Amino acid sequence: MFRWELLNLLAFRYRYQSYLEIGTQNANVNFHKIICHDKISVDPNPVHDIHYRMTSDEFFATIPDGMMFDLIFIDGLHIHEQVLKDIENSLKHLLPNGSIVVHDCLPKTERMQVREEHLDEWTGDVWKAIAKLRVERDDLVIVTYDMDYGCSVIKRGSGQKYFPKSEDYLNWDYFKYNYMSIMGVKEKPDLKLLNI
């Protein structure tokens, strides 16, 4: 399953109409495949024409407070500090029953998760943003699907089983042995089982 299939599954399940994509770059890869009535794309260096040619920080500083979305996809700068900022800004513009999906959350090797982009498979250290939220926030429900380099779904809510904080939980060696628990990993989603 690919990220656009998960996004469309969520859109269908919750009847979402509005979609925001942070980090579009090439609109043919994901953006044009999303089935929502109102769609907005953001990227500072896109391959194709998009709606907002700017960074996500500039975008969120520009739009009105009342601009809200059902579904937000984050696939921008793959540095966990920026991912956390994108999630926090997205939560301010997320409708009450909305969902945020974050891509590249499950690196398989240490090289995949280094902060410097390279030509091999690369996720950056996005996983650290999700781990921090699962450890520190009790107002969010977060699951990570083991698909397409890892897609984490974030919704407002409570009742999530949180991972206990450890001194080294943002260390790669700790992550590689505990990623299933710390990231809340589930198998590929199914419409009948999607209950987030």
- Domain assignments of the chain as residue spans, ordered by start: 3-184
- Looking at mean pLDDT, say which of 115-119, 150-154, 163-167 comes out highest: 150-154
Cα–Cα distance between 56 and 21 in angstroms, integer? 10
Enumerate residues 6+ apart whose C-beta is below 8 A from 41.
21, 24, 27, 31, 50, 51, 52
CATH of 3-184, one of 3.40.50.150, 3.40.50.12280, 3.30.70.260, 1.10.10.10: 3.40.50.150
b/e sequence 159-173, b meaning 16+ C-beta within 10 Å:
ebebeeeeeebbeee
Q: Is the pTM for the entire model greater than 0.85? A: yes
For residue range 82-109, list pLDDT tens digits in order: 999 999 999 999 999 999 999 999 999 9
Q: Are 44 and 55 in contact (CB under 8 A)?
A: yes
The mean of the pLDDT values for the chain is 93
Q: How many CB atoms lie within 10 A of CB 14?
A: 17
Average pLDDT in the 25-44 region? Answer: 96
